[in-house]
A and B are shown apart, each in its own frame.
Chain A
């Protein structure tokens, strides 16, 4: 079974630029999560999708972050414009039935904002 795929793996941008990350969850997994992991911290949930609907985005900085999950499969997370404090690893995870204890994480995208 293929795992959660993410691209790109690394991205370096200047502040105020835009960036987009892509995630392909495990086939058949209805629930998709985006997390932000700052160096030395645990992951923090940004947004959770159930199929193509948003379950919770209360911790997503909506003035600069946006996310979508078209057709209930792939998802993109966008930052526009980026700030220095957005430097982090952005992790995508998926779950078959939405249970937190059965999440599978992708390798993450490491973003550096200079």
Chain B
């Protein structure tokens, strides 16, 4: 079992829909959870960061972490065509770096249809 599992998609939804993106993980030591957005031929851009369990909201984006289920989600409300991108989850057991510092999922390719 991989440490972080993420459905690669593609996930295609109509404009205005609520999008749900998810990752599961196996390492119970993970405490720091991040969502990145990556447009084609660009580097990843940090969208949301959450420490431990709970919810965090920023505009149209909501991140949820359920450590008991080892499951994290990103919700996008009122989705726009400009949200079309690959969304990567990433997580870490500690805030600093190192080879075991940040583990990424494979990314979910999201398409918002106008």
Contacts and interface: CB of A to CB of B under 8 A. Distances in A.
Interface in B62-114: 88, 90, 92, 95-99, 101-107
Given A4-B43, A105-B44, A107-B43, A100 B104 contact: no
Nearest to B44: A105
Interface string B1-33: 000101010000000000000000000000010
Contacts of A108: 41-43
Interface in A51-110: 55-56, 58-59, 91, 93, 95, 98-108, 110
B interface SS class: loop
A33 interface: yes
At the interface, is chain A mostly helix, strand, loop or mixed? mixed
Nearest to A44: B104
Interface size classification for chain A: 20 to 34
A59 B99 contact: yes
A42 B104 contact: yes
Given A42-B88, A42-B107, A102-B46, A56 B98 contact: yes
A18 B107 CA distance: 30
A105 B104 CA distance: 14
6 contacts: A40-B106, A41-B107, A42-B90, A45-B102, A48-B98, A105-B44
